[in-house]
Amino acid sequence: MSARDRILGKLRAAAPAQTPVEPDVAGYYARHTLQHALPARLAHFSHMMRAVHTEVIYTRADSWPQALAARAAQAGWRHVLLAPNTAHGARAAQALQGLATPPQLKSYDRPIDDWKAELFHDVDAAFTTTRAGIAETGTLIVWPDADEPRAMSLVPPVHIALFDASRLYENFYQAVSTEGWANGLPTNSLLISGPSKTADIQQTLAYGAHGPRELIVLAIVPDDIDLAELEAAQ
Amino acid sequence: MSTHPITVHPARSFKANSHDAVNDPHLRKSFRGAMDFLMAKRAAQFPDHNELEALRSLGETVRQRCLAKLPQLLEKLEAQLTANGVKVHWAETPEEANAIIHGLIAARNGKLAVKGKSMVSEETELNHYLEAHGVQAVESDMGEYIVQLAGEKPSHIIMPAIHKTKAQIATLFHDNIPAAPYTEDVDELIQLGRNALRGMYLKADVGISGVNFAVAETGTLCLVENEGNGRMCTTVPDMHIAITGIEKVVEKLSDVIPLYSILPRSATGQAITTYFNMISRPRQPGEKDGPREVHLVLLDNGRSQAYADEQLRKTLQCIRCGACMNHCPVYSRIGGHAYGTVYPGPIGKIISPHMLGLNDTQDLPTASSLCGACGEVCPVRIPIPEMLMRLREEAARDPEEKVPHPLAGQGAAYSPQLARVWSLWRTVYSRPALYRAFSWLATRLRVFTPRRQLGWTVHRTPLTPAKQSLHELVRQRQSSR
Ligand code: SF4
């Protein structure tokens, strides 16, 4: 008999006969989900994100590439990784190339195995999109894919995340149930709530433990929301 | 690294260890400070008491429902993961788990493994096993890395290096990381660790990790972390081996939501961790990173013994948040090493007897004042004090006594003398005439009370009866009115 059969046999012999109480996860979240309008949700999202050292930049659908370019010029990144064959990647590339001293652009066009060392040593910042956000905890939902693989939000020291702020859920439950995640998940899916951090040395918080030291969120705010009011709502 | 001796703290020397620990003022101060800090941070995360209690009840119901269906859920998990391309392995003992993992690494001629945080791999002493078989295993969680460099074991399940000072870590890094200067600046120390470990991710043949929740419905392994080392280990090397206990399976993806909401808040007082990493498949054609091979090793190691007993099954509800240790007056005084077990503190006292048997762990359930703090903070409402009393009972039970679900080491603390005393007492106490005669004699002959009273006088002054029994005193009082 295999270890599997022995373990399952022991468990089956002991499993309780009566049907267990069914937890009411949906009911709990029906009672505990806030119903805030987008500006309030967004203000809370930024508050939570900034509390853990994330930089949140409010921008608009037509001007985010300029915001990205301005931030790149300020930081002086020399090598930026992005996905030029996506619509947002192409716009980002165009804006960055328009800079007086443009960074060298790289794309994740080969399997990691072919350029591991370069990815680790010669990329200053990576630019990716995000799937959605969660207001309650200040969280980005990222589903890496062939254009923007997993390591892009992990290996380079800076991660710039483009976030369509109209896709901001109140909480994790709302995201999972609205999008029907239970029907299938991709190879890898992520919640990201800030730059990498640790408090393993004398409970002293330090950023940039293994992943990005900086997380910059370029939040595309719908035009009907006033940006100055949004900042003031913090 | 492999030349460092591994310090073992066998649970049998618990009494001596805890004696040493309470007499170490430095250790006591650092644990006291750290625990106060963690308790305050947790409290700040739950300003709404009703929300906390409702969430704890939900977490408890979710875990109990998953445990009630455990065998079916494990089969479903296996089927779903297999359909997703993840290979599932089963191990009854730590030795079996280690052999499986080594076999997988050896099959691709691997020499270097990077490890994310996994308490289950501490249970199996995997690093030790791999090193003995020519595979270097490097811990990549900062705390675990520090503890590994020091040749020690974690002293807390969430903050493994909580017993170490900046100065000690500065020396360790200076001595062990090539070209590392001596610095006590925490940011600089973290950068030193980061750079050293980034070199390892690049070279590693395999990444090993634990699992926080394994979702049967979707065949997904969920990992909770702040540092990103877990993501590194499960993304960069070409093979990922996850190891976890059989109790970690949950039925539905939505089950994870309340558990993940309460876990970081209870553990470190964070609203959420930096990363929640959901892995459902190996790298697919067209994808450019992630391991091409993913394996899950499911370990029993005594969990099925706890499962067999309805009361003790609740032990398996645990989501390993560490809140019970942070709030334990015993843990905060003696620290994690004194227990001599992989899991210290209250959860360690109730889970270790199943993993190691009561012969080795009989003292652990007694190291509690039963103050109840652990049970009150547990996010899944495990009645830890009840479990402690039950385990004391099992340790004191006659080894020959037949019970439906005997525990390994039943009767480890059994004393025939003590058992005789109690059976005598039972007879006396249940017969009024006998009891009256006994109390009359005991009070009148009080000067002859023995000075040595078995277990009682090990730590306490001997008992001497009063001049008259309580019954007599009350009777006198009533007749004098
Ligand atoms: S027993 Fe409860 S409090 Fe202790 S680690 Fe487990 S879940 Fe947390």
DSSP-assigned letter for residue A139 = E
Q: What is the CATH number of the domain that holds B30?
A: 3.40.50.10420
Domain count across chain B = 2
| Domain spanning A36-232, CATH architecture | 3-Layer(aba) Sandwich (3.40)
Mean pLDDT, rounded, of chain B: 95
Q: B261 and A172 in contact by Cβ < 8 A?
A: yes
Residue B377 lies in a domain: no
B319-357 tens-digit pLDDT: 999 999 999 999 999 999 999 999 999 999 999 999 999
Angle between helices B14-22 and B25-45 in degrees, nearest 10: 90
Question: Mutating which of A178, A191, A200 best tests the B interface, going by the most B Cβ atoms within 10 A?
Answer: A200
Q: State the pLDDT confidence band at A18, using cuts at 50, 70 and 90.
A: confident
Q: Which helix (H) or strand (E) holds B437?
A: helix B432-444
Q: Report the half-sphere exposure of B297 (CA within 13 A, side-chain side).
A: 28
From chain A, the residues in CB contact with B268 under 8 A are 199
Whether B228 and A139 lie within 8 Å, measured CB to CB: no
pLDDT band at residue B2 under the 50/70/90 scheme: very low
A71-80 per-position pLDDT tens digit: 999 999 999 9
**Domain range for B254:** 10-304
Whether B366 is in a domain gets the answer no
**Distance from residue B163's CA to the centre of ligand 1 (Å):** 20
pLDDT of B459: 84
Q: Are A216 and A50 in contact (CB under 8 A)?
A: no
Q: Express each pLDDT in A38-47 by its tens digit.
A: 999 999 999 9
Rg over alpha carbons for chain B, rounded to the nearest Å, is: 26
Q: Which residue, B284, B304, B324, sits at the end of a domain?
A: B304
Look at residue B87 in the predicted model and tell me its pLDDT. 98
**Chain B contact for A202 (CB, 8 A cutoff):** yes
Residue B469 has pLDDT above 70, yes or no: yes
pLDDT band at B1 (very low <50, low <70, confident <90, very high): very low
Cα–Cα dist A134/A150, whole Å: 20
- Is B385 part of any domain? no
CA of A57 to the centre of ligand 1 (A): 39
| Residue A16 in this model has a pLDDT that exceeds 90 | no
Tell me the two tokens of residue B478.
């009533």
Residue nearest to atom 6 of ligand 1 (CA): B318
Asked if the structure places residue B155 within a domain, the reply is yes
- pLDDT for residue A199: 95
User: Around Cβ B366, how many Cβ atoms within 10 Å?
Assistant: 15
Q: For residue B77, is pLDDT > 50? A: yes
Place of tokens 């017993």: B163
Residues of chain B found within 8 Å of residue A206, distances taken between Cβ atoms: 186-187, 189-190
Instruction: State the Cα–Cα distance between residues B164 and A42, nearest whole angstrom.
Output: 40
Q: Which residues of B touch A3 (CB under 8 A)?
A: 90-92, 96, 300
Domain ranges in chain A are 36-232
> B71 to chain A: which residues are within 8 Å by CB?
8, 11-12, 15
Is residue B336 in a domain?
no
Report how far ligand 1's centroid is from the alpha carbon of B375 (Å). Answer: 8
Query: What does the pLDDT read at residue B456?
Result: 85
Output b/e per residue, B306-339; b: 16+ Cβ within 10 A: bbbbeebbbbbbbbbbbbbbbbbebbbbbbbbbb
* Cβ of B378 less than 6 Å from ligand 1: yes
* pTM attached to this predicted model: 0.94
One domain, residues B296 and B445: no
Q: What's residue B10's pLDDT?
A: 67
Predicted confidence (pLDDT) at residue B253 exceeds the cutoff of 50: yes
Would B327 be classed as within a structural domain?
no
